[in-house]
Amino acid sequence: MDFYLRPAAAAVKALLTAAELPTADLRAEHFEHFIACGPKDSPDAVVGLELYGEVALLRSLVVAAGARGKGYGTSLVAAAEAYAGQQGVQEIYLLTTTAEAFFRQLGYVTSARAEAPAAIRQTAEFSSLCPANSAFMRKRIGAR
CATH classification of 3-140 is 3.40.630.30, yes or no?
yes
Distance between terminal CA atoms of the chain? Answer: 31
SS3 (DSSP) at 55: strand
Question: pLDDT for 13-46, tens place per residue?
Answer: 999 999 988 888 888 888 999 999 999 888 999 9
- Count Cβ atoms within 10 A of the Cβ of residue 118 and give its class: 0-12 exposed, 13-18 middle, 19 or more buried: exposed
Question: pLDDT for 41-87, tens place per residue?
Answer: 889 999 999 999 999 999 999 999 999 999 999 999 999 999 999 99
> What is each CA distance from 98 to 10, 101, 136, 138, in whole angstroms?
24, 8, 12, 16
d(CA 65, CA 63): 6
What is the model's pLDDT at position 112? 94
What is the model's pLDDT at position 143? 62
**Identity of the amino acid at 55:** V
